[in-house]
Amino acid sequence: WIPQTPQWNWLYEKMMQMAKEANDSLWKFDLISVDESIQYTEYYDTAEGHYDWHQDIGPGNASKRKVSITVQLSESDDYEGGDLEMWQGGKAMQVAPRGAGIVFIFPSYMMHRVTKVTKGTRRSFVLWVGGQHYR
């Protein structure tokens, strides 16, 4: 976890700005807070690292999540597998672009997963931007 400290403020500000720009043009959610720390994640081939289908919203603090942001830290040839996929209903699937510095932003209620890493290591930052409860 990346703490919300002066040392890391630049990263929080950058990620929040990207979320705000996407939100202002696409969803217009009421975004007011970043209550959680940035998650630094590593998925290893040796552990068949993956994250099965899920939504980023849930009970407690997670119920206020509105926008999810993933920043790819690994180059696309650093690993195989490990695709970030978003289910769009029926058979429609969107696969996030790969490569260090690629940012993928989506509503936190969307079903998504990271497929198994079969070679190498996939690294990323994840942050959730929130607001009032959905009404």
| Residue range 77-134, pLDDT digits in tens | 999 999 999 999 999 999 999 999 999 999 999 999 999 999 999 999 999 999 888 8
pLDDT in tens, 11-64: 999 999 999 999 999 999 998 889 899 999 999 999 999 999 999 999 988 999
- 70-103 in b/e burial notation, b at 16+ Cβ within 10 A? bbbbbeeebbebbbbebeeeeeeeeebebeeebb
> CB of 87 within 8 A of CB of 111?
yes
pLDDT in tens, 13-24: 999 999 999 999
